[in-house]
Amino acid sequence: MVSAAPVRLADYSPWPFALPAIHLAVDIRPGDVLVTSRLDLEPRGGAEALQLRGVDLEICSIKLNGDDVAGDDYSYRDQLLTIHSPPSKPFVLETCCRIDPYNNSSLEGLYVSGGLLSTQCEAEGFRRITFHPDRPDVLSRWTVRIEASRASCPVLLSNGNAISEEELTDGRHAVTWKDPFPKPSYLFALVAGELREIRDLYTTASGRAVTLRLHVEEGDEPYSTHAMESLKRSMAWDEQVYQLEYDLDEYNIVAVRHFNMGAMENKSLNIFNSKLVLADAETATDAELERIESVIAHEYFHNWSGNRITCRDWFQLSLKEGLTVFRDQSFTADLHSAAVKRIEDVAMLRNTQFREDAGPTAHPVKPAEYQAIDNFYTTTIYEKGAELIRMLHTLLGQERFMRGMATYVSRFDGTAATTEDFVQSIVDGAAQDGQPLGFDSERFKRWYHQAGTPELTVQRQWDAVKGELTLELRQSTPPTPGQTEKQPLVLPIAVALVGEKGRIGEEQLLVMDGDQASLTLQGDPGSAAPALSLLRRFSAPVNVQLEQSLQESLQLLAHDDDPFSRWDAGQRLARQVLLARASGEPDATVEAALIQALRQRLNAFDGGGGQDLAVLLALPGTAELEALQNPVDPPALYAARREWIAELGRQLADPLNQLLDVCRGEWPQAWPAGQGGRSLTGLAWSWLAAAGDAEARNQALEAVSGPSMTLARAALRALQPMEVDERDLALDRFYQRWQDKPVILDAWFALEASAPRTDGLQRVQALLEHPRFDPLAPNSLRAVLGGFTANVPVFHAIDGSGYRFMADQIAAVDRRNPITASRMAKVFSRWSSYGVDRQSAMRQAIDQLAAGELSSNTAEVVAMLRT
């Protein structure tokens, strides 16, 4: 294993040239593609040589100001083209290169996906297309001419507006695109091939007409309506909330099957994983419909937070991603349930980002160095980055925060900025009213540079005579790789008191920016101590150490008016139950109390608001439980979860069957209506089926053939963990129905791979050889291998066979798609937390990976795992 030299933030310096304009000519031919680029370059002084990046490029010609560059005047080695003595005045460099997208399995640069030529240039893919500095702080205005056979490539797309179309000889044609807004190379996009177009029109707030075009493969047109409507809702929301209007005459979205990411925000030409575009109620679940709406919005919102204002360097990645995640979360919250959205986001954060923060791949939101930037497209950059924006919003309030956003946009539009630029803009805009800021902005910036999840320890004392609850708070952040000394962070902590009749007094916001802080809350004199509702709305991304009694948790679950805190109380009780069962010592008192609380909730439900109840009843994620167990025993946690679900089904059979009767009327309602009832139906089937309820199993089996994908997939999830005939029948019916739809069939692959069977490893191997499995599609790989790693009894087999198998698969994937492989390698990130036997077996699998020839992407991850 050979690691690349690290790139360091401290070494940043501006590129010594300006590149105001680029003219690109792309000549698509059956066996290769010729790319001619004309770069208008302006020396900024002091550069002895011009260096451009280029990977797997065959040079056809190099011209400087129209003259051929002699062989002695340039060199091309180690993916670097060097012009040794460039002019000291503005000049034009023209290169012509031959590339082979038809055999490019990396899914970076220009490649073929199902016969369609497509690009992925973020983060460093453009260097696989032509020579360029390929860094985000070099912004240019682009003109792109694409030429191809009309028969094979009737659709030719790039960024900006189409300014001309040409009919050429020999059945060829060309389209020229011009993007009037400066952008870096990572936002370049090109799509060429045979696609069907769905067209619509959007009129902006200022009255400009924008043509919206969604491009899909033949036969997929009926599944495009949801994506188009989501786009229009996104455009309207950004105008209404942020006063940001779309700036071009057209907006294009293309769906492709082979794509490493979910989607890409290339200026005016978004390229999407087809899974995140093609959907209706019959082919996608409610959660997938909302996810599609959210991702469509996310990529559209990037038009301003990422495109018009981009990153100075890749260390600033969260500048665009954290901010845009916050924006898309707010969009979903405004359109649907803000409470449910916040709970879902916190659950995801705790189960993914907190886990990352606690492992060997922990890194700050703004890393100090990297070897392969693709490895830093992580939940820390995205979701934790969004929490930083949310804290600024909490600290400042909506009005002041939006003034800061307006300052940021006006100050940095058309430039490449940094996270410091962003925070300073928010602070400057918020301070325009002359009010004190209310927190130390320099201390707040520590969040960007310090890895790890802070721990907030809370002690309290109740004065019954005065009715005062005094809190003593301490914060600390555990050591993380490369960072042992931690400084205190700015923590906005929302708190309130809750009595037996609800909240007492007003909520308070404590701004904690030191190691310690104290706060006194006023309750009712002469009464018993009230419950403490702490970290309401999850006001800061921290772990809380606070002793809370069973009675206090039940009181919060019953009476807290903050939906997050109410849910969190239920999660705390469920964690106690599951961890106790996993240890072999069930806590009968807590179990009985929780079942009674859930029974009351179920009996009180009479329809409507089902999503709130569904998230309240959901069990904690496995990663949350693993973080509280030492050593971690995945099979014991898995067994505890299955046992507890069965117990819930037995104890709550009557209210669950009543729940099914209430929810049945919501099944046929069109999304977003009815999703609460459908979610509760899936939960009831899961609990009842686990308890042996034959009627629930039959209902689930029938739903697999029904008109709702939400109910079909919920039914499969309910049946999948059990060795029963209904499971095999359900999986077979689903396969027979959807075998010709790869986007949907991936769900079947994942369910099959994660089914806990005695011959699970052999079945996963068979899935990888299945005629419908596409080894070049990241979706398919994630479905099978991701499903396998979720198959606890098989992946975590005590003999280490699951770990060794996964290491083999990662190595094989790495040879053709390093980005996908490096992300899969993180499945081993918690190896040191397991018991001795599993720890040893997983470490052997990591060493097995390290001994092979790995890409720089995967080598960096494996090296972090071994430290």
pLDDT of residue 176 exceeding 60: yes
* Residue 366 in tokens: 């703004």
Round to whole Å and give the CA distance between 476 and 616: 30
Q: What is the pLDDT of residues 711-763, one digit of tens each?
A: 999 999 999 999 999 999 999 999 999 999 999 999 999 999 999 999 999 99
Q: Is residue 542 part of a domain?
A: no
What is the CB neighbour count within 10 angstroms for residue 421?
A: 18
> Residue 257 has what pLDDT?
87
Average pLDDT (795-806) is 97
- Label the pairing between strands 309-311 and 415-417: parallel
pLDDT of residue 46 exceeding 80: no
> Do 411 and 468 have their domain in common?
no
- What CATH number did the domain enclosing 665 receive? 1.25.50.10
CA distances from 106 to 117, 192, 260, 813 (A): 14, 18, 9, 10
- Interacting residues of 207 by C-beta distance below 8 A, sequence separation 6+: none
Under 8 Å between Cβ of 810 and 862: no
Q: What is the pLDDT of residues 417-475, one digit of tens each?
A: 999 999 999 999 999 989 999 999 999 999 999 999 999 999 999 999 999 999 999 99
Domain residue limits at 326 = 309-449
- What CATH number did the domain enclosing 516 receive? 2.60.40.1840
Domain boundary among 171, 194, 217: 194
Round to whole Å and give the CA distance between 600 and 660: 16
Q: Helix count (H) and strand count (E) of the chain?
A: 30, 31
Round to whole Å and give the CA distance between 830 and 575: 20
pLDDT of residue 2 exceeding 60: no
Q: What is the pLDDT of residues 93-125, one digit of tens each?
A: 999 999 999 999 999 999 999 899 999 999 999
pLDDT of residue 397 exceeding 70: yes
> Residue 291 has what pLDDT?
98
Under 8 Å between Cβ of 234 and 292: no
User: Where would I find the H helices in 181-248?
Assistant: 225-242
pLDDT of residue 403 exceeding 90: yes
Whose CA is closest to 277, among 209, 221, 318, 211? Answer: 221
pLDDT of residue 261 exceeding 90: no
Whole-number average pLDDT of the chain: 97
- Interacting residues of 238 by C-beta distance below 8 A, sequence separation 6+: 244, 245, 300, 301, 304, 327
Q: Is residue 551 part of a domain?
A: no
> Residue 849 has what pLDDT?
97
Q: Is residue 271 part of a domain?
A: no
> Residue 4 has what pLDDT?
73
Round to whole Å and give the CA distance between 188 and 268: 10
pLDDT of residue 503 exceeding 90: yes
- What secondary structure letter does DSSP report for 632? B
CA distances from 849 to 800, 808, 826, 865 (A): 14, 8, 12, 11
Match 């079942």 to its residue by tokens.
595
> Do 442 and 499 have their domain in common?
no
Q: What is the pLDDT of residues 199-250, one digit of tens each?
A: 999 999 999 999 999 999 999 999 999 999 999 999 999 999 999 999 999 9
Match 């670097």 to its residue by tokens.
80
Q: How confident is the model at residue 47 (pLDDT cuts 50, 70, 90)?
A: confident
% of the chain at pLDDT higher than 90: 97
Under 8 Å between Cβ of 47 and 86: yes
Q: Is residue 733 part of a domain?
A: yes
* Residue 426 in tokens: 């928010």
Domain boundary among 449, 477, 510: 449
Round to whole Å and give the CA distance between 787 and 773: 14
- What CATH number did the domain enclosing 357 receive? 1.10.390.10
User: Where would I find the H helices in 208-285?
Assistant: 225-242
CA distances from 679 to 340, 614, 659, 691 (A): 12, 6, 11, 19
- Label the pairing between strands 455-463 and 543-545: parallel
Whose CA is closest to 802, among 838, 761, 839, 770? Answer: 761
3-state secondary structure of 110: strand
> Do 637 and 504 have their domain in common?
no
- What CATH number did the domain enclosing 122 receive? 2.60.40.1730
pLDDT of residue 347 exceeding 80: yes
Phi, psi of 511 (to 5 degrees): -100, 105
Q: Is residue 222 part of a domain?
A: no
* Residue 438 in tokens: 């209310």
- Interacting residues of 485 by C-beta distance below 8 A, sequence separation 6+: none
> Residue 3 has what pLDDT?
62
Taking only Cα atoms into account, the Rg of the chain, rounded to an integer number of angstroms, comes to 28
> Do 110 and 13 have their domain in common?
yes
Find residue 148's DSSP bridge partners: 173
> Do 768 and 830 have their domain in common?
yes
What is the CB neighbour count within 10 angstroms for residue 429?
A: 22
Under 8 Å between Cβ of 142 and 152: no
* Residue 374 in tokens: 């693709």
Q: How confident is the model at residue 529 (pLDDT cuts 50, 70, 90)?
A: very high
- Interacting residues of 657 by C-beta distance below 8 A, sequence separation 6+: 684, 688
Under 8 Å between Cβ of 860 and 4: yes
Match 């179990």 to its residue by tokens.
591
Phi, psi of 621 (to 5 degrees): -75, 155
Under 8 Å between Cβ of 364 and 381: no
> Do 497 and 421 have their domain in common?
no
Cα dihedral: 37, 38, 44, 46 (round 10): 70
* Residue 305 in tokens: 């937070």
> Do 610 and 731 have their domain in common?
yes
Listed in order, strand segments (DSSP E) in 291-413 are: 309-311, 369-370
- Interacting residues of 208 by C-beta distance below 8 A, sequence separation 6+: 245, 246
Q: Indicate if 626 belongs to the active site.
A: no
> Do 491 and 575 have their domain in common?
no
Helix axes 653-663, 588-604, angle to 10 degrees: 30
> Do 494 and 524 have their domain in common?
yes
How large is the greatest C-alpha to C-alpha distance in the chain, in angstroms?
94
Q: What is the pLDDT of residues 18-39, one digit of tens each?
A: 999 999 999 999 999 999 999 9
| Positive or negative: CA dihedral 726, 727, 730, 735 | negative
- Interacting residues of 378 by C-beta distance below 8 A, sequence separation 6+: 353, 356, 361, 363
Whose CA is closest to 821, among 753, 775, 757? Answer: 775
Phi, psi of 545 (to 5 degrees): -110, 105
Q: Is residue 614 part of a domain?
A: yes
CA distances from 21 to 17, 39, 43 (A): 12, 6, 14
Q: Tell me which of 299, 321, 666, 860 is the catalytic residue.
A: 299
Whose CA is closest to 274, among 743, 756, 615, 849? Answer: 743
Helix, strand, coil in percent for the chain, rounding step 5: 45, 25, 30
Q: Is residue 487 part of a domain?
A: yes
Under 8 Å between Cβ of 191 and 28: no
Round to whole Å and give the CA distance between 354 and 407: 32
pLDDT of residue 1 exceeding 80: no
Say how far residue 744 (Cα) sits from the centre of its chain: 20
Q: What is the pLDDT of residues 616-664, one digit of tens each?
A: 999 999 999 999 999 999 999 999 999 999 999 999 999 999 999 999 9
- Interacting residues of 227 by C-beta distance below 8 A, sequence separation 6+: 214, 253, 277, 278, 279, 292, 296
Q: Is residue 412 part of a domain?
A: yes
Annotate 460-529 with DSSP letters as a single string: EEEETTTTEEEEEEEEE---BTTB-------EEEEEEEEETTEEEEEEEEEEE-SSEEEEEEE--TTSPP
Phi, psi of 704 (to 5 degrees): -60, -30
What is the CB neighbour count within 10 angstroms for residue 516?
A: 11
CA distances from 57 to 53, 103, 124 (A): 10, 13, 14
> Do 28 and 140 have their domain in common?
yes
Domain boundary among 449, 483, 506: 449
- Interacting residues of 592 by C-beta distance below 8 A, sequence separation 6+: none
Domain count across the chain: 4
> Do 683 and 778 have their domain in common?
yes
Round to whole Å and give the CA distance between 515 and 476: 7
> Do 709 and 784 have their domain in common?
yes
Round to whole Å and give the CA distance between 607 and 220: 35
Q: What is the pLDDT of residues 764-787, one digit of tens each?
A: 999 999 999 999 999 999 999 999
